[in-house]
A = this chain, B = another copy of it.
Amino acid sequence: MIYVSRHEHFNAAHKLYNSSWTKEKNEEVFGPCANENWHGHNFDLIVTVKGEPNQDTGFVVDLKKLSTLIRKEVIEVFDHKNLNLDVEVMRGKMASTENMAIEIWKILQSTLPNITSTARLHCVKLYETPRNFVEYFG
């Protein structure tokens, strides 16, 4: 078994704001992340799949195809968007990196079979800043 990873990136705006709470409670819990006028990040996304290398190509998965898949199914959806307003899969959920990673996993889990019949999704790693990141293994 070999683990193969591809690094992509996107930029987005969001705020951390629980609409069932008062403004004061949101500011107490989320601090400046609750700014009602939004803030934003450069997100770095690393997607890892696992499998056996194909004898003919030497590839677990064609990384150009994996890159194209991630760009079409994930980057198109999240890039230059407002995570609270523009992204269907985030609707009704807190716009945290944790929840983003879970939704990105779901998207890739259902679309990875479009480019490979043998490799399986292993990990979605998402950096919100160079110092804060999450990993989800399904």
> Which of A's residues lie within 8 Å of B, judged by CB?
1-9, 11-14, 16, 18, 20-21, 29-33, 35, 37-42, 48, 53, 56-60, 62-64, 79-82, 85-86, 93-99, 101-102, 129-137
Contact = CB atoms under 8 A, between A and B. Distances in A.
B96 A134 contact: no
A16 to B, nearest CB: 7
A32 B79 contact: yes
B35 A82 contact: yes
B58 A39 contact: no
B4 A98 contact: yes
Contact of A96 (B7, B35, B58, B85): B58
13 contacts: A4-B98, A5-B133, A6-B132, A7-B132, A9-B129, A21-B56, A29-B62, A30-B57, A33-B80, A35-B81, A48-B135, A59-B96, A60-B98
